């Protein structure tokens, strides 16, 4: 479980996040949704420690990440797996080396065990026989899958995904969403996904937090999101004709 308490952040005097609090549950797909430029990715970066908030705290299973000791912070970081928007695969390493990288730097595992684990994770995300390919030789969807394999290779307790299906066709996007959903349930990890894609919200969201202009406006379960009276949320959820036809008819 991850708790965020009163997170605020500003850049060059401009407030981006306003006092955001919330809880993200274990074994659930927790979604942070909102329009582009509303502070979702900034909030995610605050949670994983890539940016330090101006105020507030983040607790991973009651261990403070922001105000905790260096040792705690280091330990928590090692329990985190993250899928970045563009995959963030290392260009100079092949697929196998990319997926193996967390094991190389964070564990003392023997080499043959590492390779077995890499092959298991690549198979788990539906990729076989691409170990020796370079990131530039595979498609965007495959890069995302390799990113997921790298994120789960060290058996994380927390999985973060920043726009996992951006830039992908709807079918591949759904496959990626389903994969994240399955992995979350399978390994019982706390997953936080940042997205603005309503398909993802419907497909995989268990617990959803809605942000607008840096403020948390709504938080609730998947089945409640289409029944809310909040105008801003409805404007976001029913922005497409398809969603209107599906739920408002």
Q: How many residues bind other proteins (CB under 8 A)?
A: 22
Q: What's the CA gap between 16 and 11, in Å, rounded?
A: 7
221 is a site residue for other proteins (CB under 8 A): no
Binding status of residue 155 toward other proteins by CB under 8 A: no
The correct pick among 12, 62, 71, 91 for binding other proteins (CB under 8 A) is: 91
160 to 189, contacts with other proteins by CB under 8 A?
Answer: 160
Name residues whose C-beta falls within 8 Å of residue 192's C-beta, 6 or more positions apart in sequence. Answer: 2, 24, 30, 31, 32, 44, 47, 158, 159, 160, 161
Q: Which residues of 106-134 are buried (b: 16+ CB within 10 A; e: fewer)?
A: eeeeeeeebbebbbebbebbebeebbeeb
Other CB atoms closer than 10 Å to residue 206's CB: what's the count? 17
Site string for other proteins, 97-116 (x = CB under 8 A): ----xx-xxx----------
CA 94 to chain centre: 23
52 in contact with other proteins (CB under 8 A): no
Which residue in 4, 42, 66, 82 binds other proteins (CB under 8 A)?
A: 82
Please report the beta strands in 181-237, taking only residues with DSSP state E, as ranges in sequence order. 190-195, 207-212, 215-221
Pick one of 22, 54, 57, 84: the residue that binds other proteins (CB under 8 A): 84
Smaller CB distance to other proteins: residue 150 or 196?
Answer: 150
Choices 87-95, 179-187, 226-234, 235-243; region in contact with other proteins by CB under 8 A = 87-95
Residue 159 in the binding site for other proteins (CB under 8 A):
no
Q: How far is the CB of 160 from other proteins (least distance, A)?
A: 8
Please check whether residue 184 is in contact with residue 27, taking contact to mean a CB–CB distance below 8 angstroms.
yes
Q: Which is nearer to other proteins, 88 or 174 (CB)?
A: 88
DSSP-derived secondary structure for 109-136: --HHHHHHHHHHHHHHTT--S-TT--GG
Which residue among 1, 88, 130, 185 contacts other proteins (CB under 8 A)? 88
Say whether residue 50 binds other proteins (CB under 8 A): yes
Unique residue bearing structure tokens 């967390």 = 102
Q: Does 138 bind other proteins (CB under 8 A)?
A: no
- By CB under 8 A, is residue 77 in contact with other proteins? yes
Binding interface with other proteins (CB under 8 A): 45, 48-50, 74, 77-78, 80, 82, 84-86, 88-91, 101-102, 104-106, 160
């Amino acid at each position: 479980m991850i708790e965020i308490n009163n997170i605020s952040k500003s850049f060059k005097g401009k407030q981006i996040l306003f006092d955001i609090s919330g809880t993200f549950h274990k074994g659930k797909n927790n979604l942070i949704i909102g329009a582009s430029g509303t502070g979702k990715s900034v909030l995610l970066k605050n949670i994983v420690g890539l940016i330090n908030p101006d105020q507030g705290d983040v607790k991973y299973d009651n261990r403070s990440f922001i105000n905790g000791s260096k040792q705690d912070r280091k330990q928590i970081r090692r329990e985190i797996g993250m899928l970045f928007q563009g995959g963030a695969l290392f260009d100079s390493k092949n697929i196998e080396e990319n997926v193996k990288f967390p094991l190389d730097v964070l564990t003392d595992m023997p080499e043959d065990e590492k390779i077995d684990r890499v092959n298991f994770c690549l198979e788990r995300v539906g990729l076989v026989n691409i170990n020796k390919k370079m990131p530039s030789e595979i498609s965007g969807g495959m890069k995302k899958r390799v990113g997921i394999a790298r994120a789960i290779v060290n058996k994380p307790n927390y999985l973060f995904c920043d726009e996992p299906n951006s830039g992908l066709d709807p079918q591949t996007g759904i496959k990626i969403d389903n994969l994240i959903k399955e992995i979350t349930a399978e390994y019982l990890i706390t997953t936080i996904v940042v997205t603005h894609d309503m398909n993802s919200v419907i497909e995989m969201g268990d617990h959803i937090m809605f942000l607008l202009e840096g403020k948390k406006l709504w938080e609730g379960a998947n089945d409640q999101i289409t029944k809310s009276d909040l105008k801003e949320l409805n404007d976001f959820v029913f922005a497409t004709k398809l969603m209107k036809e599906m739920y408002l008819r």
